[in-house]
Amino acid sequence: MAIERSAQTNRTLRAALLGFIGGTALAAGVAVLASDGGVPAMHHMSGPMSQADMAAHIDKVCQHVYVEIDATDAQKSILDPIFKQAAADLLPMFQQLHTGHAQVLNLLAAPTIDRTALEQASAAQIAVHDQIAQRMTRLVEDSSNVLTPDQRQKLVAHLTQHMAMPSPMHG
């Protein structure tokens, strides 16, 4: 029973950390899209996000989480490069998703539907999502090794509360 509870806790912690990192990665992806003019700024920004804006946003999110989980300076110095490298790795993947999304929209707007092209575009999008999932898993593994069990619990509590908040992007 204790092993089963521990496994469930580990899954919950991984999901919560993945949610945080996913949000950060999504923000990084938005920067890619915004940098080429494809997406207006998100909820609190007034224009397209530059690479500098995105870096500042990632730093801000990290600093907020560090306060919430009482991260030490040593942990921050380990986690910062992990998060920044993940964002750098994920940015091109989000660009690929953006390009693929545009391709699908063009295919759907055509006078006749090219099923083969749609299936190829879908397969390409699935492959990119798989790459993102693999990179996110590595990020969760790397960052969770730096946090204590208590800090991971604090992170889960913070993310659970944050995810329960209404999103200005959904309505």
HEC secondary structure over 35-81: HCCCCCCCCCCCCCCCHHHHHHHHHHHHHHHHHHHCCCHHHHHHHHH
**Residue 2 pLDDT:** 53
**Residue 15 pLDDT:** 55
**Residue 151 pLDDT:** 93
- Encoded tokens for 79: 């986690």
Residue from 48, 60, 50 nearest 23 by CA = 60
- Encoded tokens for 168: 């200005």
**Residue 11 pLDDT:** 57
**Residue 114 pLDDT:** 95
Say which residues have a Cβ less than 8 Å from residue 26's Cβ, sequence separation at least 6. Answer: 94
DSSP conformation letters of 105-134? HHHHHSSS--HHHHHHHHHHHHHHHHHHHH
> Could you tell me the residue ranges of all domains in the chain?
2-164
* Placement of tokens 């224009």 in the chain: 47
- Encoded tokens for 57: 């946003």
pTM of the prediction?
A: 0.64
pLDDT less than 50: residues of the chain: 25-47, 169-171
Residue from 106, 107, 100, 108 nearest 125 by CA = 100
**Residue 87 pLDDT:** 86
